[in-house]
Every structure is written in structure tokens, then in C-alpha cells.
Amino acid sequence: MTDSPTTLHIDATRDEATRTTLLRLSGEIDVSAAAAFEPLHRQPPADRQVVLDFAAVSRINSMGLAQLLRLLEHWRGQGLRLEALGLNRTLSMLFKMTGLMRYFAEPDGAAAIVAAAGSTAAGGVARAMPPGVRPVVAAARPAGPPQMRRIVRPGAAAPTPEAVPSAPAAASAAPADAGAPALPAMFAAAAPPPGDRLDFIVSQQNSQQLTGWYYLNTLLQRTLGRTVSLSVEDFEDGAASGRARAHAPALVFARPFDACALMQQQGYLPVARPQDDCDEVSLIVRHDDARAALADFAGAQVVTALERSFVFVLGRFLCDECGLDSAGLPRRFAGSEIAALKMLLSGQAELLFMSSRGHERLSALARAGTRVLERSETRVASHLLLLHPSCQALAQPLREALTGLGGHDKGRQALQDLGMNGWDMPAPEEVEMLLMLYRRYAG
């Protein structure tokens, strides 16, 4: 039990005909949810079939997941059949990554029946509920979680011989259980940022942004009243990333993989992220490969560009979600997406993990001979602007400066030069989900 006031509310409806209890959860599921769950733990619903509707849940964190897990485990021991209703994309992914989905059966229509019955005076039958659980008349809601995991795209026509590029001479290989590389040396400095200057390291999204970053850097200096020293680096460049620094950088704009490493290992704080910027992965096979499902590729040779990337992480996650054990897949890292595509087309690999954005930008000729077997639609892996924990006091001024760029001419110019629509504050549950994926596959 916790002394914190709970922000989670649970409303109950029962359908007499199907002997099903519908519990509607609203608010936040955090550590304080123990107070709301405790009555249901002491006195489980009398019906053997229980539907939990999460449509009105605004967020959930790791402590809330632990409280929910405790309740579901107890109910499973009581022999209850559980269904989940109204899972949005974020909750659906969180439940899959944490194993909570194993407690829920496939929907059999009971939830829709209960909701429909509850919308009429005759159909919704109230019953005694545990203290703290409110019986209500429920409005109908669509049943089942959204489809967010994958799509199947028909293949293109077979290539002509000249359309198939030659294979690279060599690519790095890794065993299926190889660990992720350590952080680049540029982030290994033990000393915190100096008080008189903020070092700002940027890993660009593309090579067209350089002018925009220098312009934004000037605006940030004026807003913060501090000297901000900008350095544009390629974290994958061994020479650049291998240079140790005397002090840790105060600000880092990093790819999602490096951002997770910095948050996990050095406690950097997520401040903002570009709008409409997400890494997704497409799982690609040759057009003439007759295998129709991802589960048919057990033991297949995988190729992707880089190990330190969320394309690789999401590719593994998608494999596991589709019934293919990613831990048993040998993989090679080609160094670039074009080199990885060449390896697939030349027969040196059977399955390609490629960024969906990169695949869409290929010419029709380059895409010829390939077929998209699966594609993620997670919308969580984006570049992040991070702040060193010793500079936490700057977090709010930075957020206000970045999210307010669209409100004045100079800010709009900076956004235009960066090719961005704007900046958003990352939602805590989405950052947590990003870190969960990182820990599962790389951390």
C-alpha cells in the first residue's frame, strides 16, 4: 500500500447474460495504483470472465506495471479468464515487452457484448463491487487493441541482371549472442560539464542540417545566457568518437540507440525530440524467396548496416513478436544500408533489417528484386536532445525555447534550416519504452 494519492480510477459494469465483468481503468497507473488495485486483490470479481478496458489510461510507468502484474498474477491463480480492451500503441508495446500480454486471452466478443449491454437501461445489470470500485453504466467501445506491429507489402517485379549491384567484398560478422559495443570514448569523461561553458555535441539526422544547427546554437546561447560550444560529430566515425574529452558534454543530440546508452549508463535526461522523426524497420527478403512468414526464417542469415542502431533493435523485436527467435539468428553488419542490400541481393544473406525511411527512398530499380515481409510501426525511436544530469536546472528553459521556436521568425528560420516541423517534449512512458527495448536487446 502507498500513502500517495492514487490517480487511477476503476469503474465496473457487469453483463448478466455473458457473466462477464468489465472494469474500466482511467487516469495514471503508477506506484499509487496499489491503492486502487488492493480491493480487487482482496475480493476478485465473482465472474470467471473479466475484461479490462485501458482506453482512458493516460500513462503507465514501471512501478505501475509491477502493481498491475501483481494483480493479474493473483487473478490467474484464481482461474479468471482475462481480456484486454482499448490498448493504444504505447500500452500494447509495453505489455508485449514486459510479458503482461500472456495474462490476457484473445478477445471472444465478450467485451463488446458487455459494453453494448451496459449502454441500455435493461442490459446493464449492476452488482456488488469491492470497495473503491464504482459500478457504472458503460458506453460502447470498439473491442481489441490496434494493429501496430507489422504489414505485408507485395513484392516488386524480378530484377534484370544489371539492376542487381555487386556484393561487398567483406562485412563484419557477429555471433547471435554478441553484446552491444560500449559508448564512444567522447562520452567517457568522468568530469561534469564546466560551469562557464556548455559543450553541445550533435549527431546530425542528415548532412543538410549543418547551417541550421549553428543558427539554433546561437539562439540557445541568447536564451540561456550561457556560452554554448557546438560540435557536429559522427558517432560512428572511429577517429571522432575515439577522442576523449576532459569534460562530459552538457548537451547531446543523438540517435535513439546512443541516446538510450547515455540515459542508461550516464544518467542523461531527455529534454526534447524533433516532431515526426521516428526510426522504423522493414524486414526485407529477396523477391524469389518463397517463404511467406517471418517464422519460416529460423536460423536465417541476417544482415543490417550497424549494430549500434535501433533499426537492428526493432528488427529483433519484430522477429520475436512474429514468432522468430531473434537470439538464434546469425547476423552480419555491412557498415551501410546499401552494402547490406547488396549482400541480400547477392545471396550472402537471407533477411535484411533496413530502415523503412531508407527503403522508401530507394529508386524503383534499387528496390527491384526485394519484398517487404514485415514492417514496424512503433513510433517511439526518435533522435533525442539530452542534458547532462548536473545541468538539470536548464531542462525547463531548454524545453520552452525549443517548443517555442515556431512562435517567432528566427525560430521558424532555424526549424526550416534543420528541416524540422518543430520540437516536442518526449512522453515519459515513451522514453521508458525506448529504454526497455534497449535493455532487452542491447543493454
Q: Which long-range contacts (CB under 8 A, 24 or more apart) does 320-324 make?
A: 321/96, 321/149, 321/150, 322/149, 322/150, 322/293, 322/294, 322/295, 322/374, 323/294, 323/295, 324/294, 324/295, 324/297, 324/298
Q: Residue 406 above 80 pLDDT?
A: yes
Of 43-52, 103-112, 145-154, give the lowest mean pLDDT range. Answer: 145-154
Number of DSSP helices (H) and strands (E) in the chain, helices first:
14, 17
For the chain, the 3-state helix, strand and coil shares in percent, each to the nearest 5, are: 40, 20, 40
Q: Residue 127 above 60 pLDDT?
A: no
Average pLDDT, integer, range 161-169: 34
All cell numbers assigned to 232: 557536429
Largest CA distance in the chain: 74
What pLDDT is recorded for position 112? 54
How buried is residue 393: exposed, middle or buried, by Cβ count under 10 Å (0-12/13-18/19+)? exposed
Categorize the per-residue pLDDT at 433 as very low, low, confident or very high, splitting at 50, 70 and 90: confident
pTM of the model: 0.71
Is residue 52 a contact partner of residue 85, using CB atoms and an 8 Å limit? yes
- pLDDT, one tens digit per residue, over 354-378 is 999 999 999 998 888 999 999 988 8
Average pLDDT, integer, range 301-327: 93
- pLDDT, one tens digit per residue, over 173-225 is 544 444 445 676 667 665 778 777 899 999 988 889 999 999 999 999 999 99
Using a pLDDT cut of 70, give the percent of the chain over it: 78
Average pLDDT, integer, range 54-60: 90
Round to whole Å and give the CA distance between 233 and 113.
Answer: 57
